[in-house]
A and B are shown apart, each in its own frame.
Chain A
């Protein structure tokens, strides 16, 4: 099967699962509702691997060399024969939107990652969600989610991408609000949807701006080609890129729109693992990677991307330091790690784009494994603790949950970036890219150096809060909350197996794809036409040669390791007893600041939410005023009538007088002014 056929089959399978699951529920087979999802995800993962292989073997051969393997899908599942199915979604005037899929290394890697992680999370969910009332609903939305995510990844058309983009947002909304009766879940769901939509306003405008300057194309490859052929002025392109970045900021929870992600932990834990760690939130990173041919042309926007990433990474890490809710720690760590990826993306253009993008996507790739693992692990803890997730209420679970403990430890180590684990390699590439941009970069050198410092600092903080959470949960004396009942025990096998699989991934996958294959991942990714194009632009604009591949820098690796070990050591020193430590008085205000999440929610509430609500109430009041004005106008004739009414007083003499006076007035006018 060709790559296109594989991609279409993946989408079709997922669609089938989405439609089949509610049917099962209708047929009173709710117990088996997980089967379509698990099977579809698993098969998709296999197909995605095959596709990856196909792209690897056959390479991205497109209609135009150097552009893209742009496959206009002769639509779905029957691409083998000449069945005429619509290739156009909608088209009017110059706006022509097609169902066009783009298959290249970037999308292949993303597709494989998404489906692989999703498969194991679905298996885990089958155990975790067992017996829930909305079991079928859960798996339906899950299938829809993966479908949308795959669409997002495979789309070669901005509007199709937007469809997937909004689709995953919707699924996130439905899954965060899964426990609809819980007010906090309802609030979190709404918040998540609205904040990402706020970013989407920019995204949509950006798309249209690109459409209007990009020769009225909507296909990504065509827009890139058109803009390459007909250069656009920096302001317009910068504005368009900034607007696209707005969308990414919302979806990938960057400053200032990150606050929805920690709240989104109200959903079931596997959801957090899938959506809020491994897949959906990485969409912004993916978008920027895909649009790198545009972004490399506007270095100032790139600098802004890097700064945003750095600031987000630092702030989120700072907040994560003191959180007591295990899932929240992980959520902030996700925000922080996404910040990392944006830092890397932001260097594209200052350094060779392929290196920067590869670093970001590589981190995205490894992060998917260990962050999913950590969330699932915390889910396993919750499962055992009767849905209690506050680390102050349990501890010393080493013995109670041996498998969870072991896998969680691996996840922590990978996240902290301890040497030789997956996280280490990817983080190292990002630091390397930043360092390179800071030292040899072509623009904004000082700025990248600053960001590099932030990244190192954040690495240390990451190790600290990760292991703080680990020690608080698994070390010290065993404490179990009463909600857990009498026999808190290890999770069933269906939940443990995914943990183990992901743990293996977290351990080895990083090393396997990069150092052991001589940067095979980066090289493969760089073959993506869009990234190639970005490289060419970079070469042309700066008149330099692209670096072919990242090289391992011992100094940077050492620095990263030192930061990680330092953080770990500090955490060990403070929390090895599994108890919250007493802090020196000097740190109290900082601690409070961190604990209260930097008061960002309160600030937003005061600056945006409240004013908007006041404006709404004001508008409603004002509407009464508008109505009053309309009424006033309608009363004008009545007022005139009230003025004239005394004339009709019933006295015949007066009437006669009135008639004569009227006549006299007319005559007088005429006497004084006979002709005009």
Chain B
């Protein structure tokens, strides 16, 4: 049957724009900014416009949410309706997250986006934010690819924008070349998926693959998935697709790197989750069961990524390189969420995640990760200045004496990165570990999930080494250079927001966890107790 002849699908295609109004608004504002930048270089004007754009998008998102929810609930019942955009609950949550991240990133960049480049800078940022949000709701290979490129392309521009000499240029080139390569790989994988299933719609692809893989696994399907994982692995800095990260982080402007460390990761993980079919469930009826290599591949990827990231970070002296590897390591932790989710991707009857399904842990960790990483970058951006560059570890020496407030915020962010209790990092790790340990042992993977939990615990300990080194430098050494008054209200505000967020999510995780649980596929709870 020809899907084009189906009336409901045509309706779905035409009605799709209603679902992405905030994103359209963001892109629209970006276009206005591009044009406006040609005529005026008033930073106030540009910034206000960008903030207005974000606020407007937020407002629209709020307004649209109830309607989207109703629609989504209807769609879930009607599996035949293949919308190219799927307003899943997770997508809604991610939209708020990216908008918030966009605001923080905007604050963060106020120091670096000088008057001349402000308009272009903000416009690129808005497009990237829109792209990230779009990735979360893309339900079609084409839409997904478009959304991914909406993140990449502005990033090239952003890396070029501040003329920072050779290292900056080099970073931009590296990112550009390798990003193109990964996009190509992704696209190649997409083509296989299309070829195998005859559809570009992700719901359809998932349904076909799930049905097909139940009987016999097509090697091509696995190959396609491998290619897609490889391509998206670049965005989430999974090993061995992480190579660019240290070099680009080191060379790029801090604010751009901050964006690079968050938005592509969010997008990459969401895209992977969508392709694995774990965004909307049902969780034990997925395209790639544990009898395929995909869960194993994710397992290996997670283990390798966190180990390499942590190990390599031990040897670095450049702050942004450390953060690059730290980002790699945390990508490894977040991959645990996917590993957990894929553990249930088996047709075995009655096997469902009990408390943490993996995807919820992943989203929770993404929130925590965004908070602590952006917080760290915000403080680096705040401290960095032309006469006193904050590049290497030694530049932080004695920060608690020269700038106790910034030191305290960095302290919180680093503790969270280590995973000390009462911070978002600990809670995130707890949920991930809990879900992973709870994974079934009846599948072919056996006790591999429990082993991975132990590997992750060891990695957390290794990770503590370099974060603690930074803490030691900040608090236990005396300053190497005189204290100066730092300027930069934007980064400071961003840092405060992130620090408060880190602590709040750490101390009372229910605030975020309840939302996340609502937005992710329900788990099969053990029966609740009934009163006697």
Contacts and interface: CB of A to CB of B under 8 A. Distances in A.
Interface of A: 634, 637-638, 640-642, 644-645, 647-648, 650, 652, 654-656, 658-663, 666-667, 669-671, 673-676
Contact of A674 (B177, B219, B465): B219
B243 A648 contact: yes
Contact of B311 (A637, A652, A676): A637
Interface in B188-246: 217, 219, 222-223, 226-227, 230, 234, 239-241, 243-244, 246
30 contacts: A634-B465, A637-B462, A638-B311, A641-B312, A644-B312, A645-B315, A647-B243, A648-B243, A648-B312, A652-B174, A652-B178, A655-B174, A655-B178, A655-B243, A658-B240, A659-B182, A659-B230, A659-B234, A660-B181, A662-B230, A663-B226, A663-B227, A666-B230, A667-B226, A670-B222, A670-B293, A670-B297, A671-B223, A674-B219, A675-B292
Contacts of B149: none
A652 B179 CA distance: 11
A672 to B, nearest CB: 10
Contacts of B222: 670, 674
A132 B450 CA distance: 74
Contacts of A676: 291, 293, 444
A675 B244 contact: no
Nearest to A638: B314
A658 B315 contact: no
Contacts of B297: 666, 670
Given A634-B465, A669-B293, 4 more contacts: A648-B246, A662-B230, A670-B293, A674-B293
Contacts of B54: none
Contacts of A655: 174, 178, 243-244
A663 B312 contact: no
The 5 closest A-B pairs by CB, nearest first: A662-B240, A655-B243, A641-B311, A663-B230, A674-B219
Contacts of B177: 652, 656
B100 interface: no
B185 interface: yes
B223 A667 contact: yes
A632 B181 CA distance: 40
Contact of A644 (B226, B293, B311, B465): B311
Contact of A637 (B219, B226, B246, B314): B314
B247 interface: yes
A339 B38 CA distance: 113
Scoring B230, B241, B243, B244 by chain A CB atoms within 10 A of each residue's CB, the highest score goes to: B243
Nearest to B227: A663
B311 A670 contact: no
B310 interface: yes
Given A648-B312, A655-B244, A659-B243, A674 B230 contact: no
Contacts of A654: 243
Contact of B241 (A645, A659, A671): A659
Interface of B: 173-174, 177-178, 181-182, 185, 217, 219, 222-223, 226-227, 230, 234, 239-241, 243-244, 246-247, 291-293, 297, 307-308, 310-312, 314-315, 444, 462, 465
B343 to A, nearest CB: 15
Contacts of A663: 185, 226-227, 230
A645 B312 contact: yes
Contacts of A634: 465
Contacts of B227: 663, 667
B455 to A, nearest CB: 12
Nearest to A634: B465
A656 B444 contact: no
Contacts of A671: 219, 223
A641 B226 CA distance: 27
B311 A640 contact: yes
Contacts of B174: 652, 655
Contacts of A648: 243, 246-247, 312
A666 B226 contact: yes
Nearest to A640: B311
A650 B170 CA distance: 10
Given A652-B174, A662-B240, A637 B310 contact: yes
B346 to A, nearest CB: 13
Given A641-B315, A659-B181, A663-B185, A675 B291 contact: yes
A661 B240 contact: yes
Nearest to A664: B230
A348 to B, nearest CB: 64
Contacts of B178: 652, 655-656, 659
A204 B176 CA distance: 79
Nearest to B239: A662
A648 B242 CA distance: 10
A638 B466 CA distance: 11
Contacts of B182: 659
B462 A670 contact: no
Contacts of A658: 240, 243
A115 to B, nearest CB: 64
B185 to A, nearest CB: 7
A650 B297 CA distance: 27
Nearest to A648: B246
A662 B173 CA distance: 22
B241 A644 contact: no
B292 A656 contact: no
Contacts of B181: 656, 659-660
A93 to B, nearest CB: 36
A637 B444 CA distance: 30
Query: Among A650, A658, A670, A671, which residue has the most Cβ atoms of chain B within 10 A?
Result: A670
Nearest to A654: B243
A663 B227 CA distance: 7
Q: Count chain B CB atoms within 10 A of each CB in A645, A648, A673 and give the residue with the most.
A: A648
Contact of B315 (A642, A659, A661, A669): A642
Nearest to A667: B226
Contacts of B315: 638, 641-642, 645
B217 A674 contact: yes
Nearest to A635: B314
B72 to A, nearest CB: 35
A659 B312 contact: no
Nearest to A645: B315
A663 B178 CA distance: 14
A538 to B, nearest CB: 66
A675 B223 CA distance: 12
A227 B174 CA distance: 88
A650 B174 CA distance: 9
A350 B244 CA distance: 93
B219 to A, nearest CB: 5
A201 B450 CA distance: 47
Nearest to A674: B219
B32 to A, nearest CB: 35
A667 B229 CA distance: 11
B230 A675 contact: no
Contacts of B185: 663
B248 to A, nearest CB: 10
A662 B292 CA distance: 19
Contacts of A641: 311-312, 314-315
A642 B291 CA distance: 36
A656 to B, nearest CB: 6
Nearest to B225: A670
Contacts of A659: 178, 181-182, 230, 234, 240-241, 243
B232 to A, nearest CB: 12
Which of B217, B226, B240 lies at the interface centre, i.e. has the most chain A CB atoms within 10 A of its CB? Answer: B240
Contacts of A647: 243
Contacts of B314: 637-638, 641
Given A669-B293, A670-B222, A652 B230 contact: no
A645 B244 CA distance: 14
A410 to B, nearest CB: 77
Q: Which of A659, A660, A661, A671 has the most CB of B within 10 A?
A: A659
